[in-house]
Amino acid sequence: MIGTEIEHLIKLIGRLPGLGPRSARRVALHLLKNREALMLPLAQALNKAADVIEECPDCHNLDTQRPCAICASSVRDRGIICVIEDIADLWAIEKTGSFKGYYHVLGGTLSALDGIGPEDLSIPHLLERARDDRVKEVIVALNATIDGQTTAHYIADCLHSCNVSVTQLAHGVPIGGQIDYLDDGTLAAALRSRKAV
């Protein structure tokens, strides 16, 4: 007894990540109850974003300009490229304000199971960028998951032939973390990489 238009809307909302059929219904109802304040502005923002946002040809970030604002910046350090899996990781690192080099978004991780090879990611493009003489360091900032670490090792191997140092993020106790609640792997890594006070 739900109208076709509402059902179609619920189906589309249900395809968003993290939303099941029940939350999709809840979101659809919330939208229909807030038409002027939320539903129409959202439709407009979706159309606008789909229209103006493009992938950066250099780092594969998304932005309204080509190349993106980060790649177009002249005050950043051309010597460092930070390799990340996804644009969300770029946003997370940018938010810390503690990295002033350039980025390279892979667009995923290698996965033999899903048939994702180096050519499906932007790895060949990364190697090409790393061959630039100005680049001195590549930080491989991939997730500390099995797929992420496999990809990190593969990239480090490929970069051997380029004249760059390859680094990775430090493993250890998260700021604010409680030792009692940490997993064995993190604690072992933190012990191995202990530092003088």
Q: Which stretch binds a second copy (CB under 8 A): 39-47, 114-122, 133-141, 157-165?
A: 39-47
Number of residues located near a second copy, criterion CB under 8 A = 52
What character string, x for contact with a second copy (CB under 8 A) and - otherwise, covers 6-25? x-xx--xx-xxxxx---x-x
Q: Please, which residue, 1 or 197, has the CB nearer to a second copy?
A: 1
Grouping H, G, I as helix, E, B as strand and the rest as coil, residue 123 is helix
Residue 45 engages a second copy in binding (rule: CB under 8 A): yes
Burial class of 155 by CB neighbour count within 10 A (0 to 12, 13 to 18, 19+): buried
Q: d(Cα 118, Cα 112) in Å, to the nearest integer?
A: 11
Residue 171 engages a second copy in binding (rule: CB under 8 A): no
For Cα atoms 75, 142, 63, give the angle at the middle one, nearest 5 degrees.
45
Residue 72 engages a second copy in binding (rule: CB under 8 A): no
CB of 167 to a second copy, least distance (A): 22
Grouping H, G, I as helix, E, B as strand and the rest as coil, residue 165 is strand
What character string, x for contact with a second copy (CB under 8 A) and - otherwise, covers 87-126? xx-xx--x--------------------------------
**Alpha-helical regions (H) of the chain:** 4-13, 21-33, 40-52, 69-72, 87-96, 123-130, 146-159, 184-192
Q: Please, which residue, 60 or 159, has the CB nearer to a second copy?
A: 60
Q: Please, which residue, 56 or 190, has the CB nearer to a second copy?
A: 56
Q: Which stretch binds a second copy (CB under 8 A): 57-65, 110-118, 124-132, 184-192?
A: 57-65
Q: Note the residues at the interface with a second copy (CB under 8 A).
A: 1-6, 8-9, 12-13, 15-19, 23, 25-32, 35, 38-50, 52-53, 62-65, 69-70, 86-88, 90-91, 94
